[in-house]
Structure 1
Amino acid sequence: MKDLEGKMKEQYVHEVFQSIAPKYDKMNDIISFRRHKAWRAFAMRRMSVRPGTSAVDLCCGTCDWTIALARAGAARVVGLDFSEAMLEIGRRKVEQSGLAGRIELHHGNAMALPFEDNAFDYATIGFGLRNVPDLRQVLREMTRVVKPGGLVVSLDASKPTWQPFKALYDLYFQHLMPLLGKIFASRYQQYKWLPESLSQFPGRHELAEIFREVGLVEVQAYPLSGGVAALHIGVKRGGKA
């Protein structure tokens, strides 16, 4: 039953992202009030990407983080996503960035990565972990493909705990955001999925514990914008990041 539920979620999420791909970047700016750019910039500062290193960006979507990793100096960046519609937009952005020589894009599943063990210095996933059928499996895969001492990094929506901000956030996320999706992208049900996906997603402290459960150490969890989003970073045992 759990496997069936996972497959149904995977299929539904795939349909959602295939559908919203043309308006994805615009809607990200609208629903986050452009804060997603600042959150990603904060993540990059905390990662301190070293020149000449390698990175894999899972659920890379339209490739903003993929491109940021290459611009930070990574010599090889691999982006992977299961939505061809999202990847097609990402391919155009990679070409426009002038970084195509250092970025390769793959159509694939974050649950079963087509990469060897210990292949990358960094593994990132931005606003995708809450959408996968089994987040522990994805984190295990990210850990597997990262070198000893490498970083596993997740940036995602989270759950504020401070009242009255939490009540205002819940009102916005559950009721107003789907309306914005209907107005600006003609996609109400698809943007209704986003708050539903967050309701089952672990909070910041719980996700940090899951990072430790899959074997990551030196786990750090940062609340962003009052807990609206959170950055998690863990280190693979066996070396220094």
Structure 2
Amino acid sequence: MANQYLHNVRGLFDTIAPNYDRMNNIISLGTHRHWRTQTMRQIQLAPTAHALDLCCGTGDWTIAIAQRLQVPGEVIGLDFSLPMLTYAEQKVRAAHVQDQVWLRHGNAMRLPFKPNTFDLVTIGFGLRNLPDKQRALAEIYRVLKPGGQLVCLETSQPDQALIKPVWQWYFTKVVPWFGRLFAHQYQEYSYLQETTRHFASYQQLADMFKTAGFQAVHYQRFNFGAAAAHFGTKPTGGVS
């Protein structure tokens, strides 16, 4: 069941890859870049760190990390969609950070890396699309070095009484319509708004971090709660 789900989601992202960046800008009204910039400001990253960007898509966050590194520091961008990685490779070369970036095709729930490998793992707008989110968090915990940090930037749900109905209307009605109007992909963007609406709340995601073993778990919310960045650290005495 999980394998079929993953296959279907991979097919969806393969399909939307050519329009992915443009649609992100349209749907978020350009604010997704601000969310990532604000999140990056909270990350302490040594220039020679080894980082992993999961569900890297077309590579925006991978590139942002690479721009803070210098050899031998590196960031691996991993995604299960080959078309997404093709666009990521083009953007990496255009940003002139290919010396710091490696792009890999893979499954975020079965990471092809040894334990205690990375100083930082990021995952942006990808966790909600994985069939077993807790397993993915456990895998991230495994490959992080003790003292390493996980940072997850994800869509979330506002909980203010005046904002929540507007947010629900926007995602249930407007987002699929944008998908039809700008990308001719109504079904695909109907699915994406459903994953957003049904994903864990920001409090539940913080609890999931703690269940996986992360400490110093905290979060920052954006746009009245439409998105949230969660942070967690693997304890220095953590079991691999």
State the distance in 1 between where 2:196 and 2:96 align. Answer: 35
Give the 3-state SS of the residue equivalent to 2:154 in structure 1: strand
Q: CA-to-partner distance for each residue in 1:148-168, whole Å, 9 max, x for gaps?
A: 000011100001000211100
| Contact preservation (8 Å) 2:53, 2:61 | yes
State the distance in 2 between where 1:221 and 1:213 align. Answer: 16
Map of 1:126 onto structure 2: 124
In the alignment of these two chains, the number of paired residues is 236
State the distance in 2 between where 1:50 and 1:110 align. Answer: 24
| Contact preservation (8 Å) 2:79, 2:104 | yes
| Contact preservation (8 Å) 2:69, 2:100 | no
Q: Which moves more between the two structures, 65-74 or 90-99?
A: 65-74
| Contact preservation (8 Å) 2:79, 2:108 | yes
Map of 1:226 onto structure 2: 224
User: What is the letter of the counterpart of residue 123 of structure 1?
Assistant: V
Map of 1:180 onto structure 2: 178
Map of 1:87 onto structure 2: 85
State the distance in 2 between where 1:201 and 1:31 align. Answer: 17
- The answer to whether the aligner puts 1:34 opposite 2:1 as a matched pair is no
- The answer to whether the aligner puts 1:53 opposite 2:49 as a matched pair is yes
User: What is the letter of the counterpart of residue 81 of structure 1?
Assistant: D
Q: TM-score, normalised by structure 1?
A: 0.95
State the distance in 1 between where 2:162 and 2:7 align. Answer: 36
Q: CA-to-partner distance for each residue in 1:43-72, whole Å, 9 max, x for gaps?
A: 101112221111000000000000000112
Map of 1:216 onto structure 2: 214
- The answer to whether the aligner puts 1:201 opposite 2:202 as a matched pair is no
* Aligned mate of 2:12, from 5, 13, 16: 16
State the distance in 2 between where 1:209 and 1:129 align. Answer: 15
State the distance in 1 between where 2:49 and 2:161 align. Answer: 42
| Contact preservation (8 Å) 2:220, 2:230 | yes
Q: CA-to-partner distance for each residue in 1:138-179, whole Å, 9 max, x for gaps?
A: 111111111100001110000100021110000001111100
State the distance in 2 between where 1:41 and 1:122 align. Answer: 16
Identical columns (%): 43
Q: TM-score, normalised by structure 2?
A: 0.96
Q: Which moves more between the two structures, 41-50 or 147-156?
A: 41-50
Map of 1:43 onto structure 2: 39
State the distance in 2 between where 1:119 and 1:43 align. Answer: 22
Map of 1:103 onto structure 2: 101
Q: Which moves more between the two structures, 98-107 or 192-201?
A: 192-201
Following superposition, the deviation at residue 200 of structure 1 comes to 2.8
Give the 3-state SS of the residue equivalent to 2:116 in structure 1: coil
User: What is the letter of the counterpart of residue 13 of structure 1?
Assistant: V
